[in-house]
Structure 1
Amino acid sequence: MTTPRSRRALLALLLATAAAAPAAYAQGSAWPSKPIKIVVNFPPGGAADQIARAVSLPLQEALGQPVLIENRGGANGNIGGEVAARAPADGYTLLMSSGGMVSVNPHIYPKMAFDPAKDLMPVAAAARVLVFLVTKPSLPPENIKDFIAYVKERPGKLSYGSPGTGSSPHLAGEMFKSQTGLYAVHVPYRGAAPALQDLLAGQLDYYFDPGIGLAQVRAGKLRLLAVGSPKRSPLFPDVPTLDEAGLKGFDADTVFGFYAPARTPPEIVTRLNREINRILAMPAIKERIASLGGEALPGTPAAFQERIAADSTRFAAIIRERKILAD
């Protein structure tokens, strides 16, 4: 026969067990047991969004849980970055970001609401993304040499777009101006897709495209003059790099990848890294990334972190030289 005291003790034990269960799930013992969200810190249609969506379906199949995409663009990736950084470190929120948010933004924002180096942890690199110097077809120059001369003869008369101040296409534009001595007006947008649309509409003159405009290049709606990478693109082997055009050392490549909130359990990070690397090796995914002019980049979280640090040092130099600050 139970006494009131023993019944109270049993009830307390049951309540304690029930309270402990979510904590066990949060620590990854049953992970994943619910949908996973990938925050993309740029609007739909850009390279980050397209890569995240390409990876999400096979990742969903591998993990046995829905993988949902949430676009939170703005402030060159900071808005979505903060959403991910502030999320519980339980493996149910990931971030897909360009390298600029972690390698560039700390150099151009006097103050950020979070610290990418402390509040986020690299999970898996996804792709090395190139930038392609494209112009509207109505511009007379048909090669990079003539284009440079054309712009230099018209200081301040031409404009170029970017996904935002401090984005890799913007930094490519600043590198371009620095090494050629030309002057053109920078027009920042809230993502790569809106900038591309204005270029197609003729409201911009040129653009360092992160790969999403290559279909328009093939269709003759844009003219591709050069690649802002140390090596030529396999998609356009006849198109020179800017280094080959005389802009020695020109390198505006960036690495897009997946991050998790700091202190996410290491076993979850290891599992995600393994699954994402396996997905990146799939022919269909490699082809999808290649269609953006990029290159799938599987590897360890440590290798990803090393690349982030190297890019931060490289981009900091042009940021200091050009005195680039966020708007």
Structure 2
Amino acid sequence: MFDSYLGLSPLIWKGIFSFLNVFIVGLLLALFATKYQKRKEVEIQIEGEILKLRLKAYERINVFLGRLHQHIAPPAYQEVEYEVYLDGFNFWYIHPEFAKCFNSEKEFDSFYADMENLIIQEHPYLDFDVEVKLNDSLATLTHLKLILDAFTDMEHLEKYHFSMEVAQQHIDMAYRLTGIAMQKEVNGIYCKMDKQIAKRLRNITLSYGEPKFTKWWHNVRERFFEHLDRWFYAGGWKKRLYWLLARTAIRKRAYMVESLPKLILMLMYVHYSEQYSRDEFDDELDDDKREHLMREFYKDFKMLYYH
């Protein structure tokens, strides 16, 4: 009697417990595997949807920046007029033509606002390197916008007594000249983004990890270059070292730093164009008068630029 329980022998009970042990463990493993597999399927499905959104984001960015290749080629008589202002500044452009968004203040501001919105909308889907290039592109346009906004406000100052028509002529001229002067940089925005997007598409992955080292190195380089940019305005060894580096590692960045002061000087000629042609301003004015006009321009421009 002691060798049985509920009428079953110890051998039978041992077999029952062995079966239950295998069955329960197997059942738990099966449930876990099913749940894990289902979760992986959901994760892969979500990653696939995100990948689709990322690809759509790349497409929208590429199409949007393609607008920078929509150029306006002015008629010959206007080319001559533009060349008068551009002469001697050594801006990098092939022909005196400009992207359509530089045709007027309204068109440029519209393009700039659209680009800001594009970056905000597509931010969740962008790879780090693509987003860096896109923000660098916006930064280039931001530098130009700050200058053009200051010049636009300046032409509306009451102290200069410009009529609305004359002020608008100056402003339109400023935008178009800027589009020509910065032609290489503006074209480069699309070309660099197109190259970066093509690189990402050739190495597309379903999931995307955070490039921690790449982010850290990018931040280090940015801080270094921000500090180095100040050496452009310094003298002595700092200036020489800046140009040594500029010819190698930071040539394109150096061009932007060098171009912006020249751009402002060119806009000064536009500002005084109702009173003096460029030749008259440079060659016929006495030194004191010329220096006074330049100081007045830079004083008002600087006030509006940092406003």
Instruction: Give the alignment's TM-score, normalised by structure 1.
Output: 0.29
Which is strand-richer, 1 or 2? 1
